[in-house]
Amino acid sequence: MDRFEKEKQRLEEEIKILEHRYSVYGTVRFIVFLVMAAGIIIGVYDSKTVWLVAGLAAAVGFVALVFLHGRVNENLEYARAKKLVCERYISRYSDDWKKFPEDGSEYLTDEDLVARDMDILGPNSLYQFVNVCGTEDGKRTLAATLKNPDFMPDEIVKRQAAVKELAGKQNFVVDFEALGVKAGMGKKKKYTSDVFVEYCNGDTHIPVIFNVLRFLLPVVTITLIVLAAASRISYAYPVISFFAVLLFAWGTSGVAGQAVMPMVSFGYVLEDYIRMFEMIAEEDFQADILKDIKQSISAESGALESVKKLKTICAAFNIRYNPVVHQLLCGLLMWDFHLGVMMDRWKNKNGEYVEGWIRAVSRLEELISLSVIDTTRAACYPEVTRHEKVSVKGMGLRHPLIEPSVVVANDADFQGGTTIITGSNMSGKTTFLRTLGVNLVLAYAGAPVCADTFKADYMKIFTSMRVTDDVSNGISTFYAEILRIKSMVEYRKCNKPMLCLIDEIFKGTNSADRIVGARRVISKLSAASSMTMVSTHDFELCDIENYDGSHAANYHFEEYYEGDQLKFDYRKKDGRCTTTNAMAILHMAGLD
């Protein structure tokens, strides 16, 4: 954290200097403008050569100041963005990160039960903690990875190498994130590349006839203007021709629009992508994935040059924001059709590569986001394997979203079969289940995990934690949990590796039915390829190994007392729990 604190202080000083410089340039620019205006007006109307020369000299100075003023403003915005990036990293060492505005809720669907239960996306989530993406495509890529991290072991190793390298490139990472932050400043709407990518992958083209008409009609109009200027014909003819061409351009605007309009949506983020391309192209990478990303947008690939050409077309299109000039150009030159044909040609040459270019930036942003764990937490890079008989083993396992100064570490050593976790209220049972689940998600995504050492087999994760009712569909909390458990049992029939994290199993029904139902479900889920972890207050479930002969292990969390104060150490211990604390908690709440 010290590194980010020092960088923040340095940037604060830099921002003060730039703000002062910006103010000075603004004042001088205004004064020079007054001198320019006065010199030109007096020089022209009073025929004062000296004043005219001074005015013209001031005009040159004004143009230079406009450029310098813009450059200072650019540097100022970037310094502010970089300061915000440092502040975000500092926030991750406490709980202040929970104030970050983007938590990934928009990417959650009704089917994303695991992501909701384990705080993968949503308020106070893993996504909210790690996300550093500046582009909408990057955010979606990160959300998709965290929701369903399904990579083969060799690919995970490659991703780990990339994440580890990025974690060691803090200057590059902070600068790259600052570009994304700066890009979002002042933008009220989120822009994606979807429409543009769809256009580039499509088969739409401007008909050949319009390629002829875009020259023929302007030539007719300009010829009539020349003839009228030579007094050979009346000016009525070029005027009629102008409005006829303009009306034709309006009537067929959809033809040019099919090529031009997709560029508009992408144009808002085009400059941001160019800067990111340039930064990636200038960086030296060692990891294979990072080399592939760089190669896809390097100078050799032509990506940067092609996108800069697209920027030129986009700039020409922006003339439409001056409606008078735009209509004149459309009536005289069929302006939009020229741009449409230029886009057509650009698409023919580069269209098939655009999605890959966008994807390269998204992949890099995703990997940088995953490196946040390495940067802000004590972490290790796990070993992920795939076996039919599943296991998880970790030393010093910690929850990545709990502040480092207060988080409690626990070891994990579990095999396929059943694990029953008992314990007092508030003792840490559910948090432990989430700690294991979140770190497995990170491991499967190719990210570091919060542990001293960690080794795990790949398992599809199922959860039953934050179960709620659905009044509109007549589903009670208990039945909603039944549906969750049913999905686990159905997947178990496929005999594929799976992990079931079940918190307070069947808490929505009476204790007798709960115990009977829990025993049946656990028996159906128990297998070497299925790891089932159940937290419960029902001590009867601790004897489940004796009930059906299946493998089961027992662990517990418990409370202790300092005087009459109830305390928790949040340490996982072997065996079943032998204490209760409901009455003590009622006393704490003043309800005894």
pLDDT digits (tens, 9 = 90+) for 342-380: 888 888 888 888 888 889 999 999 999 999 999 999 999
Q: Is residue 475 domain-resident?
A: yes
Kind and range of the H or E element at 532?
Answer: strand 530-536
Considering only CA atoms, which of 185, 189, 2, 171 is closest in space to residue 78? Answer: 185
What 8-state DSSP symbol labels residue 445?
A: T
Q: Is residue 145 domain-resident?
A: no
pLDDT at residue 74 above 50? yes
Q: Is residue 128 domain-resident?
A: no
Q: What is the per-residue pLDDT across 472-500, written as a single tens digit (0 to 9) for each? A: 666 777 878 888 899 999 999 999 999 99
Please say which residue of 92, 110, 125 terminates a domain: 92
- Give the pLDDT mean for 56-63: 84
Considering only CA atoms, which of 22, 23, 11 is closest in space to residue 80? Answer: 11
Question: What is the Cα 19 distance to its own chain's centre?
Answer: 31
Token pair belonging to 244: 């006829």
Q: Is residue 137 domain-resident?
A: no
Q: 408 and 298, same structural domain?
A: no
Q: 561 and 424, same structural domain?
A: yes
Q: 75 and 36, same structural domain?
A: yes
Q: Is residue 416 domain-resident?
A: yes
Number of domains in the chain: 3
pLDDT of residue 591: 52
Q: What is the per-residue pLDDT across 20-48, written as a single tens digit (0 to 9) for each? A: 999 998 899 899 888 888 888 887 777 67
Please provide the average confidence, as pLDDT, over all residues in the chain.
86
Q: What is the per-residue pLDDT across 228-263, written as a single tens digit (0 to 9) for each? A: 888 888 888 888 888 998 898 888 877 777 777 777
Q: Is residue 501 domain-resident?
A: yes
Range of the domain at 23: 1-92
Q: 466 and 341, same structural domain?
A: no
pLDDT of residue 208: 81
pLDDT of residue 175: 92
β-pair partners for 413: 393
Calpha distance 49→64 (Å, rounded): 23
Confidence of residue 469 (pLDDT cuts 50, 70, 90): low
Residue with the larger pLDDT of the pair 217 and 253: 217
pLDDT at residue 95 above 70? yes
Q: State the residue for tokens 């990111």.
A: 276
Q: 319 and 434, same structural domain?
A: no
pLDDT of residue 590: 58
pLDDT of residue 585: 54
Q: What is the per-residue pLDDT across 495-550, written as a single tens digit (0 to 9) for each? A: 999 999 999 888 777 777 778 888 888 888 888 889 999 988 877 778 776 555 66
Q: 568 and 460, same structural domain?
A: yes
Considering only CA atoms, which of 85, 139, 108 is closest in space to residue 363? Answer: 139
- Give the pLDDT mean for 547-572: 79
- Give the pLDDT mean for 119-138: 94
Residue with the larger pLDDT of the pair 169 and 63: 169
Q: 466 and 329, same structural domain?
A: no
Please say which residue of 58, 92, 126 terminates a domain: 92
Calpha distance 275→279 (Å, rounded): 6
- Give the pLDDT mean for 291-306: 81
Calpha distance 222→227 (Å, rounded): 9
Q: 554 and 583, same structural domain?
A: yes
- Give the pLDDT mean for 281-300: 88
Q: What is the per-residue pLDDT across 319-339, written as a single tens digit (0 to 9) for each? A: 777 788 888 888 888 888 888
- Give the pLDDT mean for 128-143: 93
Residue 558 DSSP SS3: coil
Confidence of residue 185 (pLDDT cuts 50, 70, 90): low
Q: Is residue 97 domain-resident?
A: no
Q: 431 and 322, same structural domain?
A: no
CATH number assigned to the domain comprising residue 503:
3.40.50.300
Q: What is the per-residue pLDDT across 409-439, written as a single tens digit (0 to 9) for each? A: 999 999 988 999 988 778 889 999 999 999 9
- Give the pLDDT mean for 55-74: 85
Calculate what percentage of the chain has a pLDDT beyond 70: 93
Calpha distance 459→497 (Å, rounded): 5
Q: 451 and 535, same structural domain?
A: yes
Please say which residue of 59, 77, 92 terminates a domain: 92
Helix then strand count (H, E) for the chain reads 20, 12
Q: State the residue for tokens 């007006």.
A: 41
3-state secondary structure 242-258: HHHHHHHHHHCHHHHHH
pLDDT of residue 41: 83
Q: State the residue for tokens 């190498």.
A: 161
pLDDT at residue 188 above 60? no
Residue with the larger pLDDT of the pair 463 and 191: 463
Q: 435 and 353, same structural domain?
A: no
Q: 341 and 434, same structural domain?
A: no
pLDDT of residue 401: 96
pLDDT of residue 152: 92
Q: Is residue 172 domain-resident?
A: no
pTM (predicted TM-score): 0.84
